Amino acid sequence: MKKFGFKLLGTDKKCNARVGHITTPHGKIETPVFMPVGTQGSVKALTPRDVKEAGSEIILSNAYHLYIRPGTEVIRKLGGLHKFMGWDRPILTDSGGYQVFSLSKLRKISEDGVTFNSHFDGREIHLTPEKVVEIQETLGSDIAMIFDECPAASKDKHLIEKAVNITLRWAKRAKKHHKRRSQALFGIVQGGTFLDLRKRSLEETLAIGFDGYALGGLSVGEPKPEMLKILEEILPRMPDDKPRYLMGVGTPVDFFEAIERGADMFDCVNPTRYGRNGTAFTSDGLVVVRNGKYQKDPKPIQKDCDCYACREFSRAYLRHLVNSHEILGAQLITLHNVHFFVNLVKSMREHIRKGSFLAFKKRFFNRFDPDSR
């Protein structure tokens, strides 16, 4: 079985954008890469075949949710997560730190771990850094994440520093407990918008030593300029020979800004969440297909898109499906959105190789209207 590895293939000479590839037991991944989110073992509204046809090389699933339901033992007995969900390409599992953060009214954090009541059936659950590693090893994902504390955006430096310190102590325990050699383990850098905390978190996480490094705790409510400042300062300090994962950041504009500064991996629920609610992403901006102006529109969602939805169906038909609450509407728009995100990042890779990333970014920004509907 192939082990995990990363190879940097080149950078754009005009900025920090870079291309590389990741090797995993279930195949290679070209970077930069967008990872569709399949939280509970499914990219919502899509089959694994759909996700492949959209061009996805890797998906993200969530260890916390799968532990709650159906349970890791069920998945183990049925052959592991890849076989369970019918996906034979790489999988990254998030540890559930963000989900625990979102359960702030139900959880209690201690040095040992986190105790909370399940959002599903109310039972009390206690997760430790070691337990979260064991869950992900049992699932058999290609990339596992350490268990971290992900605080909300805050100007309370003491609160953020406390989260940094406990994440670092948990990171050491996770690294020590991790035994599955074919599975990569990524560390997570926290620190909110405090640059000194981010730098210390990175330095100490690097000292522990991981297969890749993630920036967590961004896109949780902080102003965009503050997020970009953190990216500018922290991403170049990460090792060149390890993948750099920006967690939970997922608009086309965010991708350009992060990749320009040296990020390699992204995940976000936007393509599926917007798709289920009848909104499509395009190179011109958002298309809210339920709007009346699309009632007789014969055009596809995007005329230069070759996804199945754009090849076969009009905006008028999609509007009819959405307003009639037909499941097919959500499926087709979600399919388009995932295809759009995956292939936009693919185009970015091609322009990085050519040294034309910044020119491509300028053309996209001139065309893309974030306020369009």
Active site residues: 94, 267
Residues 6+ apart with CB under 8 A from 61: 37, 38, 39, 40, 41, 81, 85, 91, 92, 93, 94, 139, 141
Q: Which residues does residue 29 pair with via DSSP β-bridges, in sequence order? A: 22
Q: Tell me which amino acid residue 345 is.
A: V
* Beta carbons of 75 and 138 less than 8 angstroms apart: yes
Phi, psi of 291 (to 5 degrees): -65, 145
- Which of 202, 270, 268 minimizes the C-alpha distance to 231? 202
List the 27-31 sheet strands across, edge first. 5-11, 18-24, 27-31
Beta bridge partners of 35: 267
153 exposure class (CB count in 10 Å sphere: 0-12, 13-18, 19+)? middle
